[in-house]
């Protein structure tokens, strides 16, 4: 399955699961970067919002062979099928064109002011990367106690009730980086000038971010690793988020395999 080459950049992410410690800093960084609302009961996982969601997995072995691992899950920024086929699962179904794939960035956008909250995109996304605002984030029924709203960033607009939101690859950081570059009369961004809040925050540097279209970028090198794989690759959603793991049981968790089927990546 060869990827379609988008005209400009194609931003992507590689998450090294051998490094990931499950600390959750990426989730907190994302929430705080993107004005994600928080409710008193965040244990209601069906309705809480987490653009970056941490899934804990378990090798199922009995004590003391048990091992756990983690899948940090941002939006996969699914791409269209290069073979003239379908579009990103969510983009193709959105009724009001509130979400779209930018050929120049490879990023799947979400414009809240456009979304009508029909949630068709949520049904279409197999990664549960899309979150609906079931409550008024800030209103009289606000989960934010007095004062907390003082930490809201003006770079990302707070969402209103009744719309869907999701990871934007910290799109405003791209805007920020571009502005800085333009100010210096540059059109192209250097590697590392635009990185996402989660990649920046990860204390073990498990997340690498860059332009998959640029062979010079570290991500382009990493995805060649025999350990590299993506979530649900078989569905041909063309995610731009890659994972690395030397452990086969973890790679097996990334996709559905028929009995006896060879798991993607080298066997240990």
Partner 1 sequence: MDPKDKKITERLGINRRNFIMLAVGGAIGTALSPLPWKLTDDIAIWTQNLPWVPVPATGEFSYAKSVCTLCPGGCGIKVRKVDDRAVKIEGRTDFPVNPGGICPLGMGGLQLLYNEKIRFTSPMKRVGARGTGAFQTITWDEALDTLAERISGLRDKGNIGTLAAIDGNHSGSTMPVIIERFLKTLGSPNYMRMQTSQDTCETAAYILTGTRGNVGYDLENADYILSFGSGLLEGWGSPGRVLNAWGLWKSGDLRDSVHIVQVEPRASNTASRADSWVPVKPGTEAALALGIAHVIIKDNLYNSDFVEKYSFGFDDFKSADGVDHKGFKTLVLEKYPPEKVEEITGLDAGDIRILARDFANASAPLAVCGRGKGALYGSLYESTAVLALNALVGGINRKGGIFINEPLSVAGLPVLEPDISAKTALDKGRIDRAGSSFFPFSQSLFNNLAESVLKENESPVDTLLVFSANPLFTIPDAGDFRKALDKIPFIASFSPYRDETSMVADLILPDHNYLEKIDDIASPAGLQYNLYGLSAQVVKPLYDTKNSGDAVIELAKKIGGPAENAFPWTEYEQVLKARVEGLYEIQSGLTSYDGSSPPWQRSGSIVSPSYSDFDRMWEEIKENGLWYQQPYTSRDIEKTFKTQSGKFEFFSSLIASSLNGIDTGALGIKASGDEICIPHFEDASLKADDSFPLRMYPYELINLSSGWIPNPPYLNKTLLDDQLKKDQSFVDINPDTAEQLGIKHGDMIFIESPQGRIQALVNIFEGAMPGIVFMPLGFGHSAYDDFLRGKGSNPNEIIFGGKDPLSGQTVWWDTPVRVIKA
Partner 2 sequence: MDSALIPEGATRCSAGRFFLWTLPWLGLLAWGGLSAVLCFVLGLNQTNMSNIFAFALWIVFDLAVIALGAGAFFTGFLTYIIGRKELKNIINAAVIIGFICYSGAMGMLGIDIGQPIRGWFIFWHANIHSMLVEVSFCITCYLVVLSIEYLPIILENRGLQKIKELKLFGHNLHHIMALFAATGTFLSFFHQGSLGGMFGVMYARPFAAREGFFIWPWTFFLFILSAIAAGPCFTILCTKLTEALSRKKLVPDNAIQLLARISGWLLGSYLILKIADTIGWIYGIVPRAGQTFMDFYREGPYGIWLLVCEIFVFGVIPAIMLLTPGIRKNTKWLILASIMNCTGIVLNRFMFIVVTLAIPVMPFDRFWSYLPTWQEWGIGFAVIGYGFLVFSLSYRYLPLFPKERELNHTIN
Task: Give the binding site for ligand MGD (CB under 6 A).
Answer: 34, 100, 102, 105, 107, 109-114, 156-157, 168-169, 171-172
| Choice from 127, 131, 194, 229 touching ligand SF4 (CB under 6 A) | 127
Q: Which of these, 249, 8, 244, lies nearest to 107 by C-alpha position? A: 8
Contact partner, 202, from partner 2, ligand SF4, ligand MGD, none, Cβ < 5-8 Å per class: ligand SF4
Is the CB of residue 9 less than 8 Å from the CB of residue 187?
A: no
| Contact between 104 and 6 (Cβ < 8 Å) | yes
198 binds, among ligand SF4, partner 1, partner 2, none (CB under 5 to 8 A by kind): ligand SF4
Paired tokens of 218: 């570290």
Query: How would you list the strands of the sheet with 228-229, edge to edge?
Result: 207-211, 11-16, 241-244, 228-229
* DSSP track, 143-172: SS-TTGGGG--TTSPPPPTT-EEE--SSHH
Query: C-beta of 54: minimal distance to ligand MGD in Å?
Result: 20
123 binds ligand SF4 (CB under 6 A): no
Rg, Å, the chain Cα set:
19
Q: Give least dist CB 233 to partner 2, A.
A: 9
Q: Quick one: 124 or 181, whose CB is closer to ligand SF4? A: 124
Residues of this chain that bind partner 1 (CB under 8 A): 16, 18-19, 21-25, 27-29, 31-33, 35-36, 38, 40-45, 48, 50, 54, 56, 58, 60-64, 66-69, 112-113, 136-140, 145-154, 157-162, 197, 200-206
């Amino acid at each position: 399955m060869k990827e379609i080459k988008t005209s400009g950049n194609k931003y992507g992410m590689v998450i090294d699961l051998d490094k990931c410690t499950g600390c959750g800093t990426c989730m907190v960084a994302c929430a705080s970067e993107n004005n994600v609302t928080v409710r008193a009961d965040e244990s209601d996982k069906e309705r809480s919002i987490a653009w970056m969601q941490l899934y804990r997995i378990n090798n199922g072995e009995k004590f003391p062979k048990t091992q756990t691992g983690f899948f940090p899950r941002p939006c996969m920024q699914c791409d269209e099928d290069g073979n003239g086929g379908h579009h990103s699962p969510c983009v193709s179904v959105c009724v009001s064109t509130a979400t779209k794939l930018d050929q120049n960035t490879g990023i799947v956008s979400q414009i809240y002011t456009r979304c009508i909250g029909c949630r068709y995109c949520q049904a279409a996304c197999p990664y549960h990367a899309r979150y609906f605002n079931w409550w008024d984030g800030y209103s009289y029924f606000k989960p934010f106690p007095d004062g907390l709203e003082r930490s809201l960033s003006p770079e990302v607009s707070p969402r209103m009730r009744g719309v869907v939101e999701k990871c934007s690859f910290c799109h405003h950081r791209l805007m920020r980086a571009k502005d800085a570059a333009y100010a210096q009369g540059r059109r192209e961004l250097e590697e590392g000038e635009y990185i996402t809040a989660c990649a920046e925050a990860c204390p073990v540097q498990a997340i690498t971010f860059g332009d998959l279209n640029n062979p010079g970028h570290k991500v382009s090198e990493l995805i060649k690793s025999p350990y590299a794989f993506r979530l649900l690759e078989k569905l041909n959603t063309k995610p731009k988020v890659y994972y690395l793991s030397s452990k086969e049981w973890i790679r097996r968790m990334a996709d559905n395999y028929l009995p006896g089927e060879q798991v993607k990546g080298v066997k240990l």
